[in-house]
Amino acid sequence: MSESWQEQKYSEVFDETMTRLRIEQSMYPADQFRRELEARLRDQYVYQGHGWDGRNELGDVVIEATIAAFQQKMSELDPE
């Protein structure tokens, strides 16, 4: 059974976001990276709640995958 387009897109966005976050993490001090990631995650939560913009299913999949990647990276960081 093949993946749906939603599952394929989710995996693609999640993987690309995790790759980008690993690169960014290597470029910045740990505390700066953590603060930036926390701010970006909060922004994604806000954006997720703004359905008034006519966002379609593709947009929802992209936001969900991005949030999941940000959450995954946050869980990998050492606690402050």
Give the DSSP letter string of 22-56: HHHHHHS-HHHHHHHHHHHHHHHHHHHH-GGG---
Please tell me the distance from the alpha carbon of residue 34 to that of residue 25, in angstroms, as a whole number. Answer: 9
pLDDT at 11: 97
In a domain, 55, yes or no: yes
In a domain, 44, yes or no: yes
In a domain, 2, yes or no: no
pLDDT for 46-75, tens place per residue? 888 776 666 788 889 999 999 999 999 999
Q: Which domain holds residue 64?
A: 28-80
DSSP state of 77: S
pLDDT for 10-20, tens place per residue? 999 999 999 99
In a domain, 41, yes or no: yes
The predicted model gives 21-33 an average pLDDT of: 95
Number of domains in the chain: 1
In a domain, 10, yes or no: no
In a domain, 8, yes or no: no
pLDDT at 3: 86
